[in-house]
């Protein structure tokens, strides 16, 4: 009798899982691209004539093309924060353009766009520029970096931490710097000088 109930319970669980998988398979793929300094007329499917963007045009042709959009900010960090959390960045202190060693400004406990998608059965990933901070304020680039995009709802991440003009200029895959060499550790400071190389501020005569 116990075996019969266990088998029935197992079958119910399997049927439920199959329904979830089937419903997830019927959902469309979602590719969300956010780009700095890209205007409405900078891709050819929106009217650009001097620049051709065939790959973006194909995505637009196979998906949904929006013609009325608004941003909460004209800069990177606050617009990304608002998009992922649904909260106006100006309502939360510390959401301005971040330095390269800033802590993660999105609370891992709050609902985010990727976490909502995960709860709906999607696999989620973030690739490219991040610029929303990493770690808890005591960031060591030579060890495991947490929290990261993976803690706010992304199953996978391959990111540039901030911008290409803010050190360290590295790729971070999930929780670790790609190609990290233990014999050549990364040292970063936005408060004091690292090493003994001359700087433009100290040696303006060396600038050209």
What is the three-class DSSP state of 128?
strand
Q: Which of 6, 45, 70, 131 is catalytic?
A: 131
Q: Is 76 a catalytic residue?
A: yes
Q: Rounded to 5 degrees, what angle do the CA atoms 109, 113, 114 make?
A: 80
Q: What is the pTM of this model?
A: 0.80
Q: Which of 6, 45, 70, 76 is catalytic?
A: 76
Q: What is the pLDDT of residues 87-121, one digit of tens each?
A: 999 999 999 999 888 999 999 999 999 999 999 99
Q: Is 70 a catalytic residue?
A: no
- Paired tokens of 25: 């398979």
pLDDT value, residue 11: 43
Residue 3 phi/psi, 5° resolution? -65, -35
pLDDT value, residue 23: 57
pLDDT value, residue 128: 95
104 closest CA partner among 164, 146, 66, 42: 146
pLDDT exceeds 70 at position 13: no
Domain ranges of the chain: 40-69, 71-193
pLDDT value, residue 181: 94
């Amino acid at each position: 009798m116990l075996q019969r109930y266990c088998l029935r319970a197992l079958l119910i669980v399997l049927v439920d899982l199959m329904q979830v998988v089937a419903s997830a398979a019927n959902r469309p793929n979602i590719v969300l691209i956010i780009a700095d300094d890209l205007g409405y007329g900078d891709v050819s499917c929106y009217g650009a004539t001097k620049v051709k963007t065939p790959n973006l045009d194909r995505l637009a042709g196979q998906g949904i093309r929006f013609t009325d959009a608004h941003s909460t900010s004209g800069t990177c960090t606050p617009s990304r924060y608002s998009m992922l959390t649904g909260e106006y960045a100006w309502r939360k202190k510390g959401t301005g353009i971040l330095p390269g060693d800033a802590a993660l400004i999105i609370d891992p406990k709050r609902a985010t766009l990727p976490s909502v998608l995960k709860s709906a059965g999607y696999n989620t990933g973030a690739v490219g520029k991040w610029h929303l901070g990493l770690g808890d304020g005591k960031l060591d680039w030579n060890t495991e970096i947490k929290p990261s995009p993976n803690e706010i709802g992304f199953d996978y991440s391959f990111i540039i931490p901030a911008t290409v003009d803010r050190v360290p200029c590295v790729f971070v895959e999930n929780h670790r710097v790609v190609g990290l060499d233990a014999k050549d550790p990364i040292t970063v400071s936005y408060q004091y000088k690292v090493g003994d190389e001359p700087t433009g501020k100290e040696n303006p005569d060396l600038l050209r």
